[in-house]
Structure 1
Amino acid sequence: MVLVGLNLRPALSTLAPVLTRIQQDTGLSALAIGALTTLPVLCLGIFAPLAPWLAKRFGPENTLAAALLLLAGGLSLRGVPAVLALFGGTLLVGAAIGVAGTLLPALVKRELPAGADLMTGVYTMALCLGGALGAGLSVPLADRLGSWSTGLASWALLAVAALVAWRLLMPRHDAATAAPDTGGSLRELLGQPLAWQVMLFMGSQSSLAYIVFGWLPTLLMARGYSEGEAGWMMGASVMVQLLSALSAPWLARLGRDQRPALLIVLAMVAGGFWLLLQAPAVWRWPGAVLLGLGQGGGFSLALTLIVLRTATSRLAGKLSGLVQGGGYTLAALGPLAIGVMLQFDVGLTALTRVLLGIVTVSMGFALFAGRNRRLEVDDAGRLRTR
């Protein structure tokens, strides 16, 4: 599970540091580049709801293996130096990550029910490590391998390694002994305010994460930093997410619910954006660290909410499909909006205000999603919030 998590962000974080090279070589407009950064996030939202259906039909283990194979294929396709291949490969990796990322919370809930929240922090830490490696190594790999397309494609090797390891070590369960699939249909979930609250929190905080993956180096270069330094600042920001991704679930256990932990990490995100984009240059590295701590903790807690707000692994899988499907679809609007604003030469001050506004909205949803509530199926087979 940790090795799988390591593969779920490099496909996204490797694009941003080389966007300038891609634009120069392909002649794409800023709006088209914005569409390229939005495409994988949109695919996460579109394909995540399919994961529970695929898992029920083929088994979650086999479905995850197929997603890893699709991920390797999409990454390899990005190695073809053509605009169509770049967009096609990006679509495939978004679909693969959408399915794989949705399956993991349910697998964690099933295999490690007592420590599901802490295990979520562990694989989220691996996920953040993959994102950091992708951001930090993107430019060096492009330089060493001779082109940005070959550098992007080289990450297929990591996906193949995860696929081999998963096929060898994945848990195997007899379908005949599986619990009956009762309660928790999509219609029932949509009728529960708690499901909406978790989904909207996931969407708002994820939009900030994908704005960072898609545009942070570009915004930093607009402040006057070099391409290499901007890439390493993004890499450092993602790298420190490891600490908060692992520690946030522990922090969430200290109180009666998760609201204080959620507000703390979102305040860190707001402070990090302001230091990076508005404060004097001397504060850029503290800003990168603060932003990373906040975003790592925020994403880890968002995934943890999926397992904490459900009574069974089946409900966790269904809620995961809804939360990540709807959440990532909303999150795709973030990088697209930034691309549109950059197309119209909107200044950094206005962009910073937009980012802080998204943080404020996310705090509002956190106050509801962080309450001590849980979705359960009662004796009559009806979904209830307790």
Structure 2
Amino acid sequence: MSLRSVVLVAGFVLAALNLRPAIAGVSPLLDEIMGDVGLSPAGGGAITTVMVVCLGVFGPVAPLLARRIGLDRTLLAGLLVIACGVALRGLDGAPVLYLGSALAATAIAVMNVSMPGVVKQHFPSRINVMTGVYVSAVVAGAAVASAVVIPVERLTGFGWRGVTALLAVPALLAALLWLPQALRGRPARSDGPRPYGTVLRSRVTWYVTALMGLQSLTFYVVLAWLPTIFMERGVPAEQAGYLLSLTNLVQVAASLAVPVLAGRRASQVPYVVGAGVLTVLGYLGVLLAPTTLPWLWMIVLGLGQGASFALVLLIIALRPADPAAVTALSAVAQSVGYVVAALGPLLFGYLRELSGGWSVPLTVALGVLAAQIVAGWLAGRPATLGPGRP
């Protein structure tokens, strides 16, 4: 492999690793952030909610930027904006905390939509492999961030502001590695077909969008509140961060293995339903016996959530009849799905305030998971989304 190829792959992987730390790095520090800034539980949950809303709302900006400056430069701009956003939220005051979070999430939204195009542009003969690498790197980035923020805070003595600002460093490193691609890339316009009319009229689109939104909602609830739930049950903060990291690390393995198996079959229903059931079991463990074998619940939860995320991306790629429809379906599913997902952390915060504990929020989450399994059964059935198809 040439040096150019090594730099390309390294830049791509590191860029993917930056797609979740700005979100995942908040939850282990959430109690400290709320106490320092003076936020209620709902206000603390709103940090993640703001970011997930931005993931849904600003994703459609990516095609506009790509047509104007090219995919490679769009990706570079996203990395630089992530760095600016996480650095900004380390400043004093709740407004800049939310503003910096929104800025970082907007960049992540643009990169989320751009990355599949980058895979096709730079790795046309290895799309399946590099898509798996991409998904695994996204999950691994969340796992690493949730595991290291507390130890880094204690090691450096920087406090939560300095630690969250340090998340700008990997984004800047990824930008440096990606810079040769951005300088080499052509900012030519890319005006491919946009079959949104066909996509929006299809029932398949809304099954997939529902699956995307519901599995994302339960994922971001875990990302935002899981360490807090464990800490309120007496688990030390550092161990709570490790438990969140464990479930994210298990997701890496699931996201690599499950699509290979599920992609060989016409129907993905058994896999999607199985992933939903595993997620239910993980939530039940946290609800009923959080301090009894918590590592087991995290493994089960990670298997379920990692498989669910990978499967919805696989279904998005399989259902449309042509590449242009894949892009359209992905845009619809991610935009609507992430807006739905944004309700999760905020709703959990309100339910925690109203009920005074976590039993009610976790029970509501089980109801959401039941709806996710139904959506998965509908989306996982064999179908083709294309002209004249349902």
TM-score, scaled relative to structure 2: 0.90
Gaps of 5+ in 2: 1-11
Moved over 6 A (4+): none
Tell me the equivalent position of 2:355.
Answer: 345
Match of 2:147 among 115, 136, 142: 136
Match of 1:323 among 307, 310, 333: 333
Tell me the equivalent position of 2:64.
Answer: 53
Tell me the equivalent position of 2:8.
Answer: none
Report whether the alignment pairs 1:101 with 2:112.
Answer: yes
Q: Once the 2 structures are TM-superposed, how far is the Cα of residue 175 of structure 1 from its aligned partner?
A: 4.0
Tell me the equivalent position of 2:77.
Answer: 66
Q: Once the 2 structures are TM-superposed, how far is the Cα of residue 52 of structure 1 from its aligned partner?
A: 2.2
Tell me the equivalent position of 1:380.
Answer: none
Letter in 2 for 1:164: L
Contact 2:286-2:294 at 8 Å conserved across structures: yes
Tell me the equivalent position of 1:79.
Answer: 90
Give, in whole Å, the separation in 2 of the partners of 1:282 and 1:64. 43
Letter in 1 for 2:160: W
Contact 2:70-2:187 at 8 Å conserved across structures: no
Counterpart mapping for 1:154-233 below 5 A? 154-169=166-181, 172=185, 175=188, 181-185=192-196, 187-233=197-243
How many residue pairs are counted as aligned between the two chains?
A: 377
Tell me the equivalent position of 2:260.
Answer: 250
Contact 1:106-1:320 at 8 Å conserved across structures: no
Match of 1:268 among 273, 278, 281: 278
Give, in whole Å, the separation in 2 of the partners of 1:147 and 1:69. 23
Gaps of 5+ in 1: 377-382
Give, in whole Å, the separation in 2 of the partners of 1:303 and 1:50. 20
- 67-76 vs 310-319, which moves further: 310-319
SS in 2 for 1:375: coil
Letter in 2 for 1:24: G
RMSD between superposed Cα atoms in Å? 2.1
Q: Once the 2 structures are TM-superposed, how far is the Cα of residue 195 of structure 1 from its aligned partner?
A: 1.5
- The percent identity for this pair of structures is 35
Contact 1:78-1:149 at 8 Å conserved across structures: yes
CA distance 1:203–1:316, shift in 2 (3 Å): same
Contact 1:122-1:245 at 8 Å conserved across structures: no
For residues 52-73 of structure 1, what are the alpha-carbon distances to aligned partners after superposition, in whole Å with 9 as ceiling and x for unaligned? 2322333222222211111111
SS in 1 for 2:256: helix
Give, in whole Å, the separation in 1 of the partners of 2:267 and 2:67. 32
Letter in 2 for 1:258: Q
Match of 2:372 among 344, 362, 371: 362
Tell me the equivalent position of 1:309.
Answer: 319
For residues 177-219 of structure 1, what are the alpha-carbon distances to aligned partners after superposition, in whole Å with 9 as ceiling and x for unaligned? x6x623413x432212112111111000000111011111111
Give, in whole Å, the separation in 2 of the partners of 1:384 and 1:110. 29
CA distance 1:252–1:117, shift in 2 (3 Å): farther
Tell me the equivalent position of 1:150.
Answer: 162
Q: Once the 2 structures are TM-superposed, how far is the Cα of residue 84 of structure 1 from its aligned partner?
A: 2.0
Contact 1:75-1:89 at 8 Å conserved across structures: yes
Tell me the equivalent position of 1:40.
Answer: 51
SS in 2 for 1:297: helix
SS in 1 for 2:161: helix
Tell me the equivalent position of 1:291.
Answer: 301
TM-score, scaled relative to structure 1: 0.91
- 88-97 vs 338-347, which moves further: 338-347
CA distance 1:108–1:97, shift in 2 (3 Å): same
Give, in whole Å, the separation in 2 of the partners of 1:318 and 1:51. 12
Q: Once the 2 structures are TM-superposed, how far is the Cα of residue 117 of structure 1 from its aligned partner?
A: 4.1
Letter in 1 for 2:260: W
